[in-house]
């Protein structure tokens, strides 16, 4: 019976116009319960140095399996959490869980020096209590702020530059890194880059996806990489699925990459077994020359 409900819900959520009000309300109620039960899971996806294959970051991706709704993708439940006032709670649960995991790995000598990349909702950025909360958490877990990188999407920075400057400034002064997520979609103004304490830009996977077919796309990518190098920004290319894409990015000196070619998001337990330890080369698609 639960299965039938899950299938019904899935077909509703799968509609191209997205879930309607009733479905969103049902999802909101289930999510309230999931948060009360601390039932969200986390997956980790590696972000690697494209030349050496070493792991530089682990992106933290929230996962929700609901007994009735089934697996709900973050593209849906994050939006629901944002519109129903649940995102501060959800965001903190995810961050706390991930930081606890990092501290546990640290005690075992795993993922030394690797950063956690945490997605931040624009609403969390607006919460004045967020930065002090995060600093307390890091102290409690004895983690250096340098181990965190907060990912914020570009539109947030552009639409609310003044607020972003204040909040990101606070976080950056603690030593926490800042990334621009989904870079390159939507906005042409880049002026925010010099006004904000940004360390990393993450080139949206729509660019990487079109690399093989489109010469203009390759030129755009080259100029983004060129600009980033001149501004001394680190770069992650998202959504690398094919060796040809990795090869192009390496040739053009893209420092970091993320994608199914290297690893899919996976639970912490799956990250433990074959984690080769500090300095080990986990992936290189090319022979050293
Ligand atoms: P994002 O931050 O851009 O995260 C990367 C997304 O790309 C993830 O989707 C990941 O699974 C997917 N991905 C990675 N490599 C590849 C690839 O090679 N090919 C393809 N096709 N996809 C790839 P996911 O996990 O479904 O997350 C979707 C979005 O939901 C994230 O996009 C992020 O914006 C948001 N999100 C996820 N977890 C959280 C969270 O804890 N808090 C907040 N505020 N947002 C979150
Ligand atoms: Mg992200
Ligand atoms: Mg992204
Ligand atoms: Mg993206």
- Cα–Cα distances in angstroms (integers) from residue 21 to residues 13, 44, 81, in the given order: 11, 31, 14
73 lines ligand 1 (CB under 6 A): yes
184 lines ligand 1 (CB under 6 A): no
Q: Give tens-digit pLDDT for 194-217.
A: 889 999 999 999 999 999 998 999
The CA distance from 83 to 78, in Å, is: 9
pLDDT of residue 273: 64
What confidence category does residue 1 fall into, taking pLDDT thresholds of 50, 70 and 90? Answer: very low
Percentage of the chain modeled with pLDDT above 70: 87
Number of residues that make up the chain: 289
Distance 79 CA to ligand 3 centre (A): 15
Residue to mutate (ligand 1; options 74, 245, 266; most atoms within 8 A of CB)? 74
pLDDT of residue 162: 87
Nearest to 257 by CA among 34, 26, 48: 48
| Residue 29 pLDDT > 80 | yes
The residue whose CA is least distant from atom 11 of ligand 1 is 265
260 lines ligand 1 (CB under 6 A): yes
Distance 271 CA to ligand 4 centre (A): 22
What confidence category does residue 187 fall into, taking pLDDT thresholds of 50, 70 and 90? Answer: low
Model confidence, pTM = 0.91
Distance 150 CA to ligand 2 centre (A): 9
Mean pLDDT score of the chain, rounded to an integer?
89
What confidence category does residue 22 fall into, taking pLDDT thresholds of 50, 70 and 90? Answer: confident
Average pLDDT on 17-32 reads 88
Measured from the Cβ of residue 40, the count of other Cβ atoms closer than 10 Å reads 18
């Amino acid at each position: 019976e639960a299965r039938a409900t899950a299938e019904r819900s899935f077909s509703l959520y799968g509609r191209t116009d997205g879930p309607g009000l009733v479905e969103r309300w049902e999802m909101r109620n289930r999510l309230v319960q999931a948060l009360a039960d601390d039932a969200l899971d986390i997956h980790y996806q590696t972000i690697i140095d494209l030349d050496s294959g070493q792991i530089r970051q682990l992106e933290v991706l929230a996962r929700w399996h609901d007994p009735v709704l089934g697996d709900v993708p973050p593209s849906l439940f994050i939006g629901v959490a944002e519109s129903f006032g649940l995102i501060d709670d959800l965001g903190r649960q995810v961050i706390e869980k991930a930081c606890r995991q990092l501290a546990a790995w640290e005690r075992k000598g795993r993922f030394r020096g690797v950063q956690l990349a945490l997605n931040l909702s624009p609403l969390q950025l607006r919460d004045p209590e967020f930065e002090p909360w995060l600093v307390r958490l890091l102290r409690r877990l004895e983690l250096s702020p340098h181990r965190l990188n907060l990912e914020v999407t570009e539109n947030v920075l552009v639409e609310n530059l003044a607020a972003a400057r204040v909040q990101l400034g606070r976080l950056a002064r603690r030593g926490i890194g800042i990334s621009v997520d989904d870079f390159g979609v939507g906005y042409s103004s880049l002026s925010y880059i010099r006004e904000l304490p940004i360390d990393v830009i993450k080139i949206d996977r729509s660019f990487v996806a079109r690399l093989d077919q489109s010469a203009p796309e390759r030129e755009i990518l080259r100029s983004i990489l060129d600009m980033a190098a001149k501004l001394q920004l680190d770069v992650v290319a998202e959504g690398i699925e094919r060796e040809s894409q990795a090869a192009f990015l390496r040739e053009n000196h893209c420092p970091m990459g993320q994608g199914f070619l290297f690893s899919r998001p996976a639970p912490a337990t799956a990250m433990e077994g074959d984690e080769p330890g500090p300095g080990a080369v986990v992936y290189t698609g090319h022979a050293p020359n």
